[in-house]
Structure 1
């Protein structure tokens, strides 16, 4: 049996978080994982429903008061190996209100958790990305999503290893859940009938597969993309500084 992992999830009751719990529950090594949900006081009700739905998981809830500097984070993150962030933002703020995503309340919270994670000795941080690639955006860019790139810079300054996973946009109408099959260069297996669209569950299953099957040491510092019929790993070329894609087998 694989060694146990201690995972903290930020944003568990959002649009992606429940799928991450579902994917963990479906993994063969689910029984070896200890999970901690970091919940705002306002989301405790939704989180309790998730706990009831996943009685099979070793799952605890830690209520964090982010209005008080993240009170409770230090103890909640002690002994945690990986933090998976699935934060979005439900503040209602838009481009008209803030300069970039990093100034939205949800992503300010992510910065707070990252700093506490470093202090607690967390080994790997998975920031909330899951859309278009942001690692190559210049830090002085006027792009609205530059806030995500600024968060990468924070993680580097903290010396906290991180994993980037991109998926592109999700379909407006999500089809029924289907498994994420293994693939090889000789026999790539489509995930659904053409045209294939990556769903939130496929993304969640892919993140879980990377962490559980590859291992946190192997994927730390990696840039991965779940894209259509293929799973790809992005590598930064030492010659050009640009991302080059190779099939992840």
Structure 2
């Protein structure tokens, strides 16, 4: 019998985090997964309400106050195999307030979790990337997202194995999720066969398939780019005069 895989999710109550939970619940190996949700004390009720949608998942919620202390992370991450970070920042701080994204509270919490993950013996860390590639960005870049590049440096310094997955920007209006086409190096999916718009749902399924189907050791150190068709376009509404997003048929 295969030993259960323990996954900790940081940012589970956000837009991507909820899709990760759904992807795990629908995976054939879901019953072999043990989940731990790391969330701020103010979000525990939201987390429990979200988890009510997935009664078959084996999951516990851990309230962590990242701003006060890292105490509590040691216990929450003890025995965890992989950390999935889906942090976003809801502080309303902008580039006028902080020099780069790595100084935002949400990403500072991700740094704290990474340090605790190393101490706990976590085997794989998946940082919150999912946008445009930043791993080749210069550390002296003036880009606002260079904070993500600094986080890569932290993971290297910690010698914590990690996986990078990029998806490009998501459409302004996400279409209904469609099945993610199976793909491999031997049989890549040709562009448009079948077409799909890259959504958070596709990204979540892809990440979970990498982890559960290929295994942590196999994907550690890899960089993946998931990009479907870009079929969204902007139009100006005749009724409101505002720019709206629609999908081409």
Q: TM-score, normalised by structure 2?
A: 0.87
Q: How many residues align?
A: 228
Q: Find the counterpart in structure 2 of residue 216 from structure 1.
A: 216
Give the superposition deviation at 1:3.
3.5
Q: Give unpaired runs (5+ residues) of structure 2.
A: 230-249
1:48 aligns with 2:44: no
Structure 1 pair 6–142 and aligned structure 2 pair: CA distance change class (3 A): same
Q: Find the counterpart in structure 2 of residue 151 from structure 1.
A: 151
Q: Find the counterpart in structure 1 of residue 189 from structure 2.
A: 188
CA contact (8 A) 1:25 1:57 kept: yes
- Matches of 1:173 and 1:63 in 2, distance apart? 32
Structure 1 pair 4–190 and aligned structure 2 pair: CA distance change class (3 A): farther
Q: Find the counterpart in structure 2 of residue 86 from structure 1.
A: 86
- Matches of 2:192 and 2:19 in 1, distance apart? 17
CA contact (8 A) 2:174 2:199 kept: yes
Structure 1 pair 199–124 and aligned structure 2 pair: CA distance change class (3 A): same
Q: Give unpaired runs (5+ residues) of structure 1.
A: 230-249
- Matches of 1:21 and 1:85 in 2, distance apart? 12
- Matches of 1:187 and 1:159 in 2, distance apart? 32
- Matches of 1:167 and 1:192 in 2, distance apart? 18
CA contact (8 A) 1:2 1:29 kept: no
Give the superposition deviation at 1:82.
0.1
User: Partner of 1:49: helix, strand, or coil?
Assistant: helix
Q: Find the counterpart in structure 1 of residue 240 from structure 2.
A: none
- Matches of 1:161 and 1:65 in 2, distance apart? 25
Q: Find the counterpart in structure 1 of residue 68 from structure 2.
A: 68
- Matches of 1:21 and 1:64 in 2, distance apart? 19
Q: Find the counterpart in structure 1 of residue 126 from structure 2.
A: 126
Structure with bigger gyration radius: 2
CA contact (8 A) 1:126 1:164 kept: yes
Moved more, 60-69 or 149-158: 60-69
- Matches of 1:6 and 1:28 in 2, distance apart? 16
User: Partner of 1:125: helix, strand, or coil?
Assistant: strand
Q: TM-score, normalised by structure 1?
A: 0.87
